[in-house]
Structure 1
Amino acid sequence: MIAINRAFFAYLDDVKLVTILIPYYHFNGHSDSFSLITKDQAEIPLLINQRIPLKNFMKYVCELPFEVPLGERYEIQNSNGYKTDLQIGAVIRTKDFDENYYYEGDDLGVTYSKEFSSFKLWAPIATSVKLKLIDPNRKELPHVEMARGEKGVWHVKLEGNYDRFEYSYLVCNNLLWKEAVDPYAKAVSTNGEMGVIIDLEQTRVPFTRLQKVQSPVDAIIYETHIRDFSIHPESGIQHKGKYLGLTEEAIGTDRNSTGLSYLKELGITHLELLPFNDFYGVDEARDTGEYNWGYNPLHYNVPDGSYSTDPSDPYKRIIELKTMITSIQSKGIYVIMDVVYNHVYHRETSHFEKIVPGYYFRHDDFGMPSNGTGVGNDIASERKMVRKFIVDSIKYWMKEFNVDGFRFDLMGILDIETMCEVRKTADDLKEGCIILGEGWDLNTPLASDYKATIKNAKKMPGIAFFNDYFRDTVKGSTFNLYERGYIHGSSQKSQAVKHIITGSIQANGSSGLFSSPEQSINYVESHDNHTLWDRINLFDPKEATDIKRKRHRLATGMVILSQGVPFIHSGQEFFRTKHGIENSYKSPDSVNQLDWSEKIRNFDHVQYIKGLISIRKAHGAFRLRSAKDIEKYMKLIDSGFSSILYLLENVEQFGPWKNIFVAFHHLETSREIFLPIKGTWQMICNDQAAGIKPLNTITEHKFTLEPLSMYVLVQESS
């Protein structure tokens, strides 16, 4: 390492601009001139454009006569004969830098064979890079000098078989050496401390090929956490809390079924799993009882070791994850991966920052890291090599692990162009891949029109958004526990309900959130915030349990029977509780576990939700593809009070019934209504049961809605 003792400071802030800061204790901050000293000791005068007095420094803005090639050491000399190193500053956040150093190749990281391994690292401002290797016997080898190539890519090729060798990069930026793990690493050691060279051919697991999803509205998404799903003592699953736990069938059938068998019986189509790429927060080396949802990403292309039966074996976690995915798919269920490309666990210690400091993260006008994510850093997805990394990572998970879709955490931090590139890439690799995300508008220094927010949904066709308007209309504001939602009898929400159940689309003169129902993720509960059951209990703790359950059932029914994409949080179908804890991201198993005994106790409710799912899947009129079809076939009916009635008319081309009548009754009193079309109707859902088999026949033109209930009636084609 070079000893650093700077009398003053110099930064390359644009391709031809140098910012110099001289402290007042150094010649009163004064210098008549400056020059650039090259590695050949050539002395090139700089033009001083500005002198700006600051509190502790005199600031000089100087112009270079040419663009300085990066990757070499330069010095700045002042008129007093003092020198300092030219540090790489804000230039890396300029458009010129992005254009000049964008690398198109698909070979970053390690390319392995038994005969050789090649290494490539994008580090354009580094003046030196070395490869550190540790053999399988834990012996560290002499460091290997890497060569700088085009676009700032450092590379070296080593002859021989390096399978299971650990590796990292030693990178020198601005005279400082730092050790970093390869951002493109495909395997890591325990707790992600080193990258590991592996032979991916040894991890092959036969893929399960599923039919393409015709439309996102055909999906019924069920969200869970790998550990939560199986850790409960009564789960009947052997590999509790592990990838392999999601490969196990069940301990019984119907009332007692768990595991994959239960998911198949329930009828969901897509299983969305909270992050399973390598994350911080759980010690993989020993079971200390730590818990984490996984939103602290460390290594984006490596499975987390805490879900593996042997975290010390870099192969085991990959093979077990692939086995889990193909086992889920073998039940006809698609796998959605929750991804966290909006931030890293810790900016200063992240491999991105160590390798190219200041590039991968957004900064405000004062050069300070932005914090729209609330965790101290925002990924700068609009920069070309950041966008490339995200897209390359998506490609890798799809091609190597056969993932069927992606849920983007805090997607609103990312930019529209990146998300559209993700959409295009996914389409090229697999038809029907679902892309959804959180489109919240967060305070990050990216122009509003460029953010991948729900406001800009119409600029991102094929990408779906969590519909918080749906959520808060049905159950009340997530951020105000005592706001009355529709299920609590709010008549003021009726107009909003009419909008959300029709897909929140732009139709009938309304602006709408979305241009297509395929973009609306309809939900009332997710891993974030209170569970629906906890919120209902907090809203009115003294209310009778039976009434609370009816409210809960109505909310879930509205999710399933509305136009758009239904989303169910695991355990929602049996009144999941987290004991009133709102943010359980690191709470223990006792809070987060999926309590399978509650499934048994609430089996009648599970059967009801299962019946609603079967109704939705049985008829395409509940899954209309376009705003045009919704306008044509779905008719809202004035009930004369605040409950919601709608008719799907002449829809026999979409399924077995010609006409479908649906009622959502949110009042605590019964009401009599008139059916919109005379004739014989079959009731397939009432306040007691739901399914595709008729419960009873209605021949009269009117019938009674029971308190806090929903109904589905159908007419066969004549």
Structure 2
Amino acid sequence: MKMNDLVIVGVAVATAAGCTSVKNEYASYELYPVRSGSLTEMEYTSEATHFSVWAPTADEVRLMLYEAGEGGHAYTTVSMEAGEEGVWHATVKEDLMGKFYTFNIKIDDQWLGDTPGINAKAVGVNGKRAAIIDMKATDPEGWAEDRRPPLQSFADIVIYEMHHRDFSVSPASGIEHKGKFLAMTEEGTRSPEGLATGIDHLKELGVTHVHLLPSYDYASVDETKLSENQYNWGYDPQNYNVPDGSYSTDPYDPATRIREFKQMVQALHKAGIRVILDVVYNHTFNIAGSNFERTAPGYFYRQKPDGTYADASACGNETASDRPMMRKYMIESVLHWVNEYHIDGFRFDLMGIHDIKTMNEIRAALTAVDPSIVVYGEGWAAQAPQLPQDSLAMKANTHRMPGIAAFSDEMRDALRGPFNDNKQGAFLAGLPGGEESIKFGIVGAVQHPQVCNDSVNYSQAPWAAEPTQMISYVSCHDDMCLVDRLRASISGIKDDELARLDKLAQTAVFTSQGIPFIYAGEEVMRDKKGVHNSYQSPDSINAIDWSRKALHADVFAYYKGLIQLRKNHPAFRLGDADLVRRHLEFLPVEGTNVVAWRLKEHAGGDKWEDIVVVLNSRREPARVTVPQGNYTVVCKDGFINEGGLAKVSGTELTVPAQSALIAWK
């Protein structure tokens, strides 16, 4: 039987007859044709569905159609036709709604194996087959009216990094849809002590953005065995453009995960919170079985000079963002998440593996949609990538990527100690030497005349052109959480000292001119029982225990107060390097383990004329000389009250041990 000149062959037939293309031989990846237009691989109508796949080195390509997302055999096999730009095509003139499909590509007499394609937008359970659904039918009620919460400046952002399961799985969360996208849609949830959890907790805390750990379809969790409570962070990509089924209530139904993801975004938007997606374009779960490798072998991954696969990710491979089709793929992928799912920002895992040109083109594409979409990433790689350092999106090159931010490990490690030694403390442990690195972070990694860059731990030069290009943080999902790190690096630390230093650390983060970022649960003194790398640890390690919110009410109040203080006072978020240099002045201090500065002359139009901030990690009070004046203290001894905690006149402020002080005149 013929359909559109393509041969339809039953699965029982050993080989499919049809057109065989002339295989093109390419001397290098630079000579591969680039597919123009969209990379969409399936276009559905009720009358016919058109399939297309970019496979420039293929000898033959088959399309397989299935009744279900797993199990059974293809009920029909279609031989695809070779077209221009290395694209193969097939059209099936029947209503395929609800069916599933894969491609299989033959090169040098070898079939590479089934793949849903590189650009599947809906999949069955475990993502092995792409699904044909009506994407419009996945829109929740009111989706067309969904809008991003207002954002005037990147400087106004406060980021809360969370994992779906960590945030909601504890019995103390009071949440019904534990570990699911829908957990973020539940209002009125309470801890056993009656305190807000879930989305109400986020509103109470005051964050502006939720950073979701990888939420696309990833490989390590078997979606058919969710009762086994499997856990993973999700940094093992399988299908980049589909939500992961393990966070949906029904991973077998391709529409459910999509609809529920949208419901989550919609609920967060209604709560005034934007959504950032953690994206991992730098590597895939594997090579041999990956959708990229089963489509155009070798093209999407970088190789070493000897021809073996490179591994700058330390996960077995590194993708080749510098190759035109990978660059095009990444741009289209982020735009898909923006247009289909209303995502408000992206955090790029190991961004240093990607090239600068690709990141700048991604930024430009997102700006064309909405300039307020935030982009930031890890400005490093696990190992040296196969490109020159000056071409990569490394932290040192951030100034060459306008509108893109990077994490500051300078300030992070100066506060709590180096990444590679859990027991080594720093400023918070009362050890000297980190003061200049903290000052580097306070100004937002921009050039400042009072920062001696020669004394900064990792960067001997400022790398940000604007302070909003620096992410200010002291901990994240990767590495020990702050409570565990303080316990590991300060022998015999008591609970009261732990709380003091926790508050001190986050004061540095929220008074920095960079974009502040906190790890979910730190506001309630979360711990992970000392586990450094909890990417596949059980819920007993990763879950946030919401009973801690009552136990550490003072810490939660302090975090909330810091966020509100930052929101109320533009001096803490100037957003412009020249304004930082003009209005932020470091104050002289005697000795070590104290950093002090003032924000002067109504910085940023602030109603407070002068604001003084002092960080004191000594075990005794510190005295700091300030300009003559009558000061109102609003932060002292682990408490914040903008109405005032004390009045001080003169030229000296006394800061209690292991704490921060903020005062204004």
Q: Which residue of 2 aligns with 1:248?
A: 186
How big is the shift at 1:255? 6.4
Q: Answer with 319-328 or 551-560: which moved more.
A: 551-560
Select the residue among 129, 135, 138 that pairs with 1:194: 129
3-state DSSP of counterpart to 1:675:
strand
Structure 1, unaligned stretches of length 5 or more?
A: 1-69, 75-87
Contact 1:612-1:691 within 8 A present in 2 as well:
no
In the alignment, structure 1 residue 431 sits paired with structure 2 residue 371: yes
Q: For the Cα contact (< 8 Å) 2:66–2:76, is it kept in 1?
A: no
| Distance across 2 between alignment mates of 1:370 and 1:175 | 26
CA shift, 1:224, in A, is 0.3
Give the CA deviation at 1:429: 1.2
Q: Aligned partners of 1:540, 1:695: CA distance in 2, in Å?
A: 30
The offset of 1:411, in angstroms, is 0.7
Taking the aligned partners of 2:623 and 2:237, their CA distance within structure 1 comes to 54
Q: 1:522-561 maps to which residues of 2 (within 5 A)?
A: 522-561=472-511
- Is this contact kept in 2: 1:92–1:359, CA < 8 A? no
Q: Structure 1 residue 475: deviation in Å?
A: 0.8
1:453 equivalent in alignment to 2:394: yes
1:268-327: per-residue Cα shift (whole Å, max 9, x none)? 110000001000111111222211100111100011000111111100000000000110
215 and 184 in structure 1: CA distance in 2 versus 1, 3 angstrom threshold: same
Letter in 2 for 1:662: V
Separation of aligned partners in 2, 1:93 and 1:274: 36
1:586 aligns with 2:536: yes
Matched, 1:648 2:648: no
TM-score (norm 1): 0.85
| The one of 699, 702, 706 aligned to 2:649 | 699
In structure 1, what residue type is equivalent to 2:75? L
Indicate conservation of the 8 Å contact 2:189/2:197, yes or no: yes
Question: 1:630 and 1:675, CA in 2 relative to 1: closer, same or farther beyond 3 A?
Answer: same
Structure 1 match to 2:616: 665
2: CA distance between counterparts of 1:641 and 1:405? 42
SS at match of 2:437: helix
Shift of 1:703: 3.5
Q: State the number of aligned residues.
A: 627
Distance in structure 1 (CA, Å) of the matches to 2:267 and 2:495: 38
CA distance in 2, matches of 1:354, 1:503: 43
* Separation in 2, partners of 1:657, 1:518: 22
Rounded to whole Å, the distance in 2 between the matches of 1:617 and 1:599 is 23
Give the AA of the match of 1:415: D
CA contact (8 A) 1:342 1:378 kept: yes
Q: Residue 677 in 1 paired to residue 628 in 2?
A: yes
Deviates more, 1:207-216 or 1:526-535: 207-216
- In the TM superposition, residue 136 of structure 1 has moved relative to its aligned partner by 5.3
2:43 maps to a residue whose letter is T
Over 3 Å counting, the alpha-carbon distance change for 1:211 and 1:73 in structure 2 is: closer
Counterparts of 1:457 and 1:543 in 2: how far apart (Å)?
Answer: 38
- Contact map agreement 1:166 1:194 (CA 8 A) in 2: yes
- Counterpart amino acid of residue 160 in structure 1: E
Residue 183 of structure 1 pairs with residue 118 of structure 2: yes
Distance 1:368 1:674 in 2: 61
- Within the candidate set 359, 364, 369, 1:419 is matched to 359
| Alignment partners' CA distance in 1, 2:246 and 2:422 | 35
Map 1:265-276 onto structure 2 (within 5 A).
265-276=204-215
Q: Of 263, 266, 279, which aligns to 2:218? A: 279
Task: Please say if 1:142 is aligned against 2:79.
Answer: no
* Most deviating of 149-158 and 129-138: 129-138
Contact 1:614 1:691 in 2 (8 A): no
- TM-score, normalising length: structure 2: 0.91
- How far apart, in 2, do the equivalents of 1:169 and 1:94 lie? 22
Alignment of 1:30-109 (within 5 A): 71-72=21-22, 91=26, 93-97=28-32, 101-109=33-41
Distance 1:210 1:94 in 2: 40
Q: Distance in 1 between matches of 2:556 and 2:121?
A: 40
Matched with 1:325 is 265
**CA 384–627 in structure 1, closer or farther in 2 if over 3 Å, else same:** same
What runs of 5+ residues in structure 2 fail to find an aligned partner?
Answer: 1-19, 454-460
1:293 counterpart = 2:233: yes
User: Mapping of 1:194-273 within 5 angstroms?
Assistant: 194-205=129-140, 206=143, 207-252=145-190, 256-273=195-212
Q: Given the alignment, which residue of 473, 488, 512 partners 2:414?
A: 473
- The one-character-per-residue Cα deviations of 1:572-596 (angstroms, maximum 9, x if unpaired) are 1122111011011001011011111
Deviations 1:422-454 (A, max 9, x none): 101110112210001001143121111111100
Q: Secondary structure at the match of 2:211?
A: strand
2:314 corresponds to 1:374: yes
1:400 aligns with 2:400: no
Instruction: Give secondary structure in 1 for the equivalent of 2:340.
Output: helix
Query: C-alpha offsets along residues 605-652 of structure 1, whole Å, 9 cap, x if unaligned?
Result: 100111011101111110011211111001111022331111111126
Alpha-carbon distance in structure 2 between the residues aligned to 1:108 and 1:702: 65
Output the CA distance in 1 between the equivalents of 2:619 and 2:549: 26
Contact 2:160–2:209 (CA<8 Å) still a contact in 1?
A: yes
Displacement of 1:93 after TM fit? 3.9
Name the stretch that deviates more: 391-400 or 656-665. Answer: 656-665
Please name the residue that 2:458 is paired with: none
Matches of 1:327 and 1:398, distance apart in 2: 16
Are 1:625 and 2:575 an aligned pair?
Answer: yes
Alpha-carbon distance in structure 1 between the residues aligned to 2:127 and 2:230: 17
CA contact (8 A) 2:441 2:512 kept: yes
Structure of higher RCO (CA pairs closer than 8 Å, 6+ residues apart): 2
The DSSP-based 3-state class of the residue aligned with 1:632 is: helix
Structure 1 partner of 2:5: none
CA distance in 1, matches of 2:139, 2:27: 39
Equivalent in the alignment of 2:45: 113
**Shift of the alpha carbon at 1:671?**
2.5
Q: Following the alignment from structure 1 to structure 2, what is the Cα–Cα distance between the partners of residues 125 and 166? A: 25
Aligned residue type for 1:201: K
For the pair shown, the structure with the greater C-alpha radius of gyration is 1
Amino acid in the other structure paired with 1:167:
Y
1:508 aligns with 2:449: yes
Measure the CA separation in 2 of the matches of 1:523 and 1:652.
23
Question: 1:40-68: per-residue Cα shift (whole Å, max 9, x none)?
Answer: xxxxxxxxxxxxxxxxxxxxxxxxxxxxx
Q: Quick one: distance in 2 between partners of 1:560 and 1:393?
A: 32
Match of 2:585 in 1: 635
**Deviation of 1:702 (Å):** 2.9
Shift of 1:252: 4.1
CA contact (8 A) 1:473 1:486 kept: yes
Q: What letter corresponds to residue 269 of structure 1 in structure 2? A: T
Q: Which segment drifts farther, 638-647 or 379-388? A: 638-647
Shift of residue 148, structure 1, vs aligned partner:
1.0
| Residue identity matched to 1:110 | M
Task: Give secondary structure in 1 for the equivalent of 2:610.
Answer: strand
Q: Which residue of 1 aligns with 2:12?
A: none
Of 92, 97, 100 in structure 2, the residue corresponding to residue 158 of structure 1 is 92
Equivalence map 1:572-611=2 (5 Å): 572-611=522-561
Deviation at 1:215, TM superposition (A): 2.4
CA shift, 1:397, in A, is 0.3
**Structure 2 CA distance for aligned equivalents of residues 252 and 682 of structure 1:** 36
Summarize the Cα distance change of 1:156–1:652 in structure 2 as closer, same or farther, 3 Å threshold: same
AA aligned opposite 1:512: P
CA contact (8 A) 2:574 2:603 kept: no
Deviates more, 1:699-708 or 1:553-562: 699-708
Q: CA RMSD in A?
A: 1.8
Could you report, residue by residue, the CA deviation over 1:90-118 in whole angstroms, capped at 9, with x for unpaired residues? x4643223xxx011211521111222211
Matched-pair contact (CA < 8 Å) for 1:71–1:125: no
Q: Matched residues in 2 for 1:526 and 1:592: separation?
A: 13
Look up the equivalent residue of 1:285 and give its one-letter code. Answer: T
| 2:448 partner SS | coil
- The alpha-carbon deviation at position 713 of structure 1 amounts to 1.0
